[in-house]
Amino acid sequence: MHNNQWIVVADGGRANIIAVTRDAEGRHLDIVHEMSADNRPSQEIASDKPGRGFANPGGNQQRHAMPPSTDPHRHAQDEFVADVVSYLTDKRNHNKFENLVVIAPPRIMGEMRAKMPKPLAEAVEGEITKDLTKIPLADLPQHLSGTAGWL
């Protein structure tokens, strides 16, 4: 049985890294690290107006705004996920935890899986695909019961 478990509760803009400790009184959850990203709406993140495109149907020149090639908000979320994975990878490489339970909404979970190096992915013993970032820490265990990897 693993004695050193961490839980990451993340969405596209927030992550809480939680250590699980056990003693004679039972299991305790303590936040080890909190992370947050630039989670402003896309129009506030993008610094420029969209580019202009030109069309010439039937000899009439028309101008129209071109959408950005990537959604700045989604790009910021993807960068944040990479930062969370990087933090967890560093701590795993320094033996700060043995196994990990990951809690994140479906798209963020997919991004995390895709970005995890093999040693970190191998430490994942449980996953919950939900957004639980807004629930109080004291309420987290009831969401974890029955989850694979929850000690």
- Confidence class for position 3, pLDDT limits 50, 70, 90: low
How do the domains of the chain map onto residue ranges?
5-38+71-144
Check if the beta carbon of residue 31 is closer than 8 Å to that of residue 18: yes
With a pLDDT cut of 70, the percent of the chain lying above it is: 73
CATH superfamily for 5-38+71-144 is: eRF1 domain 2 (3.30.420.60)
Q: Structure pTM?
A: 0.77
The pLDDT assigned to 26 comes to: 84
Any alpha helices (H) in 69-139, and if so which ranges?
Answer: 72-93, 106-115, 118-123
Give dist(CA 88, CA 134) in Å, integer.
21
Give the residues across from 18 on adjacent strands. 7, 31
Q: Where are the beta strands (DSSP E) in the chain?
A: 5-10, 14-23, 26-36, 52-55, 62-65, 99-103, 124-128
The pLDDT assigned to 1 comes to: 43
Check if the beta carbon of residue 126 is closer than 8 Å to that of residue 146: no
Check if the beta carbon of residue 8 is closer than 8 Å to that of residue 103: yes
